Amino acid sequence: MSCSISTLSILLSILIIIHSIRSAANPSAPNIRNDSDSLRKGSSDYGNIVHEIPTGVLYPSTEKDIIDLIRSRSPLTVAARGRGHSVRGQAMAGGGVVVDMTALGGKGGRIQISKSSSGMYADVGGEQLWIDVLRAAVAEGVAPVSWTDYVYLSVGGTLSNAGISGQAFLHGPQIANVVELDVITGKGEFMSCSRTRNPELFYGVLGGLGQFGIITRARIILDKAPTRVKWAKLLYSNFTTFSRDQEYLISNNCSNYVEGFLITNENAANEWTSSSPSRQDDVAALLKKQGILYAIELVKYYDNQTAATIDEEFETLLKELKYMSGYNMTTDASFVDFIARVGNLDNETPPLQSHPWLNLFIPKSGIFDFNAGVLAGMLPKLNHTSGIFIFYPLNRNKWDERMSAVVPDEEVFYALSLLHSTPQDDYHYIDEFNQGILEFCRRKGIEVKQYLPNIKSKQEWIHQFGSKWPTIQKRKAMFDPNTILSPGQRIFNSA
């Protein structure tokens, strides 16, 4: 039986009000709130699918507030919440306490740009946004080298997953570009860690899905910031050519950013042919014929010293690629505008939607079967969704195997992001579609790994972590033996 949107919203509001009334008489700490607004925030995220109501939300003014909360052992579970961009309740703690990490940044001064004998770095509060790290660093002529496509995310949040974008083939994910962390463990211990100091915690927390500690500070590697970018969008009709060109681009250092996109509807196709309106009918006809087109987004950075040669270098690079003749949109932009190109979606007020995303890492050996069965076989038939579909290769040698993040055991693997949007609570058919993709991979023996995983059983988690599972168990016992932290991931809190 299904409920209407208004009915579900009313039911959730009633539950929150009842819960806040029951909890109001017993606040466990001065900074823990259990008013309806706080509980609503603590029981919601970007996915708008899972709603787990906590007993309260902690608004810490210092790290000590978090330490005291964990040491008190009064909440059964604790979850750190940055900007709430999880999609399946991963930052929730039903019946526990959600820590609103944004409160730590209230006094400012949580981004410091410094120089040492080993280079430039930024010491950044875990609650800080990557967009603010970008602005502070660029003001000093430097910048991080690895990004996410959306930069209005918290530093601690992306480092708890991996943090990937089109730069990761060259510099690795964001977790590969951190040299030091401050972490509060599940035992309430405040620990600084690095590759040589408390390394088990350092490697565990990076990509550790919040299971071993809460990141309160990260030291991020910086490099000289470019000033501008040359930016191309290239259209492909053939998957073999598309994947070959992507793999060529990530096999050398001739570009700074490479991503691929899957085009399954005419509106999306028009975005890639907007500079050639006369060609849109041709693209629409081709899309109708084969159901899917492919596109590469390619960027090369430059500055004042290389401005005189960038056009020639970029044209030389494009000549090596086999995209559809004439379907090349090239623009020039500032480096900051490119990194922040998605804008701040948090400030928009779209109709209430759910986001049943599926993110996978796919081994190179399986991509042609995957394209035939899923990209060209299933995606074009999905007519009742909106969203962005991203597909691009990464180099495994840029990932540190000691970290908790898991990727396929092949030198090249592909990142797939099916970023679906549906009307609120109308996501079930997308869940079935996503499950169908996973079933296809199982039948074909394609050993995919989920990124930003939506996994419900312990057995599935054991398969997800593979050979890392014993290490994950050991680290959990070391740093969170009472399984307090991050219950929304359902790793140690599932059947």
Is the residue at 461 inside a domain?
Answer: no
Rounded Cα–Cα distance for residues 112 and 136 (Å) = 8
Query: Among the three residues 169, 195, 224, which one is the final residue of a domain in this structure?
Result: 224
Task: Say what the pTM is.
Answer: 0.93
Residues annotated catalytic, as ranges? 85, 149, 259
| Count of domains forming the chain | 4
Could you tell me if 122 and 215 lie in one domain?
Answer: yes
CATH of the domain at 44: 3.30.43.10
Q: Give the number of other CB atoms < 10 A from CB of residue 401.
A: 13
Q: Look at strands 97-100 and 78-81 and give their pairing.
A: parallel
Which of 158, 429, 393, 377 is closest to 296 using CA atoms? Answer: 393
CATH of the domain at 216: 3.30.465.10
DSSP 95: T
Is the residue at 280 inside a domain?
Answer: yes
| 344 within 8 A of 394, measured Cβ to Cβ | no
Rounded Cα–Cα distance for residues 256 and 251 (Å) = 12
Rounded Cα–Cα distance for residues 305 and 224 (Å) = 13
Could you tell me if 181 and 234 lie in one domain?
Answer: no
Query: Among the three residues 205, 224, 243, which one is the final residue of a domain in this structure?
Result: 224
Could you tell me if 65 and 161 lie in one domain?
Answer: no
Could you tell me if 414 and 331 lie in one domain?
Answer: no
Could you tell me if 259 and 315 lie in one domain?
Answer: yes
Is the residue at 344 inside a domain?
Answer: no
Angle at Cα 489 formed by Cα 485 and Cα 493, nearest 5°? 70
Is the residue at 463 inside a domain?
Answer: no
Rounded Cα–Cα distance for residues 306 and 394 (Å) = 27
Is the residue at 76 inside a domain?
Answer: yes
Is the residue at 203 inside a domain?
Answer: yes
Could you tell me if 248 and 334 lie in one domain?
Answer: yes
Please state, in angstroms and as integers, the Cα–Cα distance from residue 396 to each residue in 112, 174, 405, following that order.
31, 14, 12
CATH of the domain at 365: 3.40.462.10
Domain hosting 356: range is 350-454
Could you tell me if 193 and 151 lie in one domain?
Answer: yes
Q: Which two tokens stand for residue 358?
A: 């599926």
Per-residue pLDDT of the chain (495 residues; tens, 9 = 90+): 334 444 555 556 555 555 554 554 344 566 899 999 999 999 999 999 999 999 999 999 999 999 999 999 777 899 999 999 999 999 999 999 999 999 998 766 799 999 877 789 999 999 999 999 999 999 999 999 999 999 999 999 999 999 999 999 999 999 999 999 999 999 999 999 999 999 999 999 999 999 999 999 999 999 999 999 999 999 999 999 999 999 999 999 899 999 999 999 877 777 766 666 667 778 888 998 999 999 999 999 999 999 999 999 999 999 999 999 988 899 999 999 999 999 998 876 667 899 999 999 999 999 999 999 999 999 999 876 678 999 999 999 999 999 999 999 999 999 999 999 999 889 999 999 999 999 999 999 999 999 999 998 999 999 999 999 999 999 999 999 999 999 999 999 876
Could you tell me if 194 and 257 lie in one domain?
Answer: no
Q: Which pairs from 310-314 meet CB under 8 Å and 24+ separation?
A: 310/230, 311/230, 314/230, 314/232
Is the residue at 13 inside a domain?
Answer: yes
Angle at Cα 238 formed by Cα 233 and Cα 240, nearest 5°? 105
Q: What is the dihedral of CA 36, 355, 466, 480, to 10 degrees?
A: -10
Helix, strand, coil shares of the chain, percent, nearest 5, are 35, 25, 40
Could you tell me if 130 and 210 lie in one domain?
Answer: yes
Which of 229, 289, 234, 288 is closest to 261 using CA atoms? Answer: 234
Could you tell me if 193 and 272 lie in one domain?
Answer: no
Residue ranges of E strands in 72-174: 78-81, 97-100, 111-116, 119-125, 142-143
Could you tell me if 153 and 57 lie in one domain?
Answer: no
Q: Which helix (H) or strand (E) holds 232?
A: strand 228-236
Rounded Cα–Cα distance for residues 307 and 411 (Å) = 34
Is the residue at 468 inside a domain?
Answer: no
The amino acid present at 100, given as its one-letter code, is D
Query: Among the three residues 44, 67, 101, which one is the final residue of a domain in this structure?
Result: 101
Could you tell me if 243 and 194 lie in one domain?
Answer: no
Residue ranges of E strands in 21-171: 32-33, 56-58, 78-81, 97-100, 111-116, 119-125, 142-143
Residue ranges of E strands in 406-470: 412-423, 449-450
